[in-house]
């Protein structure tokens, strides 16, 4: 019953999400020997002002 959470900065198109879901499911299914139908993926599209690296927001205040 693998659960996968993918958090990305900004937005993705539905086509991108579909390809990511298919590709990640394929990798985990093959490498971890899990049936694809048991794999559940949640994609979180997070605004850049809500993500920080090195203590600085990706979209900082001016």
Per CB under 8 A, residues contacting its own copies are: 1-9, 12, 14-32, 34, 36-37, 39-46, 49-61
Q: How far is the CB of 11 from its own copies (least distance, A)?
A: 10
Q: How far is the CB of 48 from its own copies (least distance, A)?
A: 9
Q: How far is the CB of 9 from its own copies (least distance, A)?
A: 6
Are 60 and 51 a contacting pair, CB within 8 Å? no
- Quote the tokens at residue 2: 């693998």
Burial class (CB in 10 A: 0-12, 13-18, 19+), 43: middle
């Amino acid at each position: 019953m693998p659960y996968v959470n993918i958090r990305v900065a900004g937005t993705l198109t539905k086509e991108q999400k579909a390809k990511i879901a298919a590709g990640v499911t394929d990798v985990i299914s093959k490498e971890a020997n899990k049936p694809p139908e048991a794999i559940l993926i949640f994609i979180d599209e997070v605004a850049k002002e809500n993500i920080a690296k090195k203590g600085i927001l990706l979209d900082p205040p001016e």
